[in-house]
Amino acid sequence: MPQYRATITVTLRPAILDVQGKTVEHALHSLGFSEVRHVRIGKHITLDLDAPDEQTAQERCAQMSQQLLANPVVEDYTIALEETA
Amino acid sequence: MPQYRATITVTLRPAILDVQGKTVEHALHSLGFSEVRHVRIGKHITLDLDAPDEQTAQERCAQMSQQLLANPVVEDYTIALEETA
């Protein structure tokens, strides 16, 4: 069965205040990086999975994102797949 | 001055045990996603910055990563830049 490497990026929706991002932005300003704005912090998840085809791999990753990896109320996710074997 | 959107991805080095990734992997198995392996979780940071040129923007992002965003002992980072204005 083909093997895929999935990269799932989970980000807060634009309308949601990113407290962690704001904290990092203030810290960067304190360190002298005053040219920085709009810091936002999300999750970068990589995993390997077996699937009969790329469409199935995509669907399984979407299910994982909706059930566990992302909070659909406040977060968006994107899935990128690469066939590795 | 040109404006850039930087995407900085911070990941644990391959040799470092990813405890959070292992926990998520077990949770995915419990939910029925038994085809999943090698879950690793990193940070996906986006920010806007002004810089005179792309090389300067790249250097400033590398400095931010080394000083604050990543722990160079156990983490790697990649920087992607896109000119937005």
Chain A CB contacts of B11 below 8 Å: 44, 46
Q: Which helix (H) or strand (E) holds B61?
A: helix B54-64
Q: Write out pLDDT tens, residues A38-72.
A: 999 999 999 999 999 999 999 999 999 999 999 99
Residue A85 scores a pLDDT above 90: no
Q: Give contacts of B 50-79 with A, CB under 8 A.
A: 50-51, 60, 63-64, 67-69
In this structure, what token pair is assigned to residue A64?
Answer: 């994982």
**Which backbone phi and psi does A4 adopt, to 5 degrees?**
-125, 145
* Beta-carbon contacts below 8 Å between A and B: 98
How many C-beta atoms surround the C-beta of residue A48 within 10 A?
A: 16
Residue contact A46–B33, C-beta within 8 A: no
The range of the structural domain enclosing residue A61 comes to 3-83
Structurally, chain B folds into a number of domains equal to 1
Among B22, B30, B34, B47, the strongest candidate for a mutation testing the A interface, having the largest count of A CBs within 10 A, is: B47
Share of chain A above pLDDT 90, in %: 98
Instruction: For residue B46, give the nearest of A40, A48, A50 by CB distance.
Output: A40
pTM for this predicted structure? 0.93
Q: Give the CATH number for residue B42.
A: 3.30.1280.10
Judged against a pLDDT cut of 90, whether residue B85 lies above it is answered with no
Burial of residue A84 (CB within 10 Å: 0-12, 13-18, 19+) is exposed
The interface pTM score, or ipTM, of the predicted complex is 0.92
Digit-coded pLDDT (tens) for B37-74: 999 999 999 999 999 999 999 999 999 999 999 999 99
For residue B33, CA distances in Å to B6, B59, B72 come to 33, 41, 33
